[in-house]
């Protein structure tokens, strides 16, 4: 009986902070959009960002529908721009946009690689 009480108490101490953290968004909508934008540029550059994508998808579940729709539209626009980049000038512009998008975003910096687009 004593073991059950200790185990239940320990589980509650561990689970409550996770449940509170999972209840609401961890980022503001602007932070979320900036992280999505940076991650999208990293993705089209060939960087391995699976963890960042997973975290953003989890965070997206806590964001408003409008914010998620805006993020989806930005990802689609960046992917389309990358597909349509045919000249060296297009690729240079994409790299510059990537640098600008990721300069203030610390979310995907752990996954960044210096792959050229």
User: What's the pLDDT score for residue 23?
Assistant: 64
- Say if residues 102 and 34 touch (Cβ distance below 8 Å): no
Q: How many CA within 13 A on the CB side of residue 24? A: 5
Rounded Cα distance between 64 and 76, Å, is: 18
pLDDT: which is higher, 91 or 24: 91
pTM of the model: 0.67
Chain segment 46-105, per-residue pLDDT in tens: 888 899 999 999 999 999 999 999 999 999 999 999 999 889 999 999 999 999 999 875
Q: Is the pLDDT of residue 35 over 80?
A: yes
User: What's the pLDDT score for residue 106?
Assistant: 53
- The enclosing H or E element of 69 equals helix 65-83
For residue 34, CA distances in Å to 20, 70, 95, 102 come to 24, 11, 16, 8
- Say if residues 61 and 95 touch (Cβ distance below 8 Å): no
Show me where the domains of the chain are located.
27-111
User: What's the pLDDT score for residue 70?
Assistant: 95
């Amino acid at each position: 009986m004593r073991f059950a009480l200790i185990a239940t108490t320990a589980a509650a101490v561990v689970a409550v902070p996770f449940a509170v953290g999972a209840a609401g968004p961890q980022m503001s909508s602007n932070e979320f959009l900036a992280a999505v934008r940076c991650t999208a540029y990293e993705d089209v550059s060939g960087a391995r960002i699976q963890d960042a994508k997973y975290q953003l998808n989890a965070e997206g579940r806590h964001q408003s529908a409008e914010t998620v729709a805006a993020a989806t539209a930005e990802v689609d626009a960046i992917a389309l721009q990358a597909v349509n980049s045919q000249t060296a000038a297009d690729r240079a512009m994409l790299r510059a946009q990537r640098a600008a998008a990721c300069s203030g975003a610390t979310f995907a910096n752990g996954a960044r690689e210096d792959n050229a687009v």
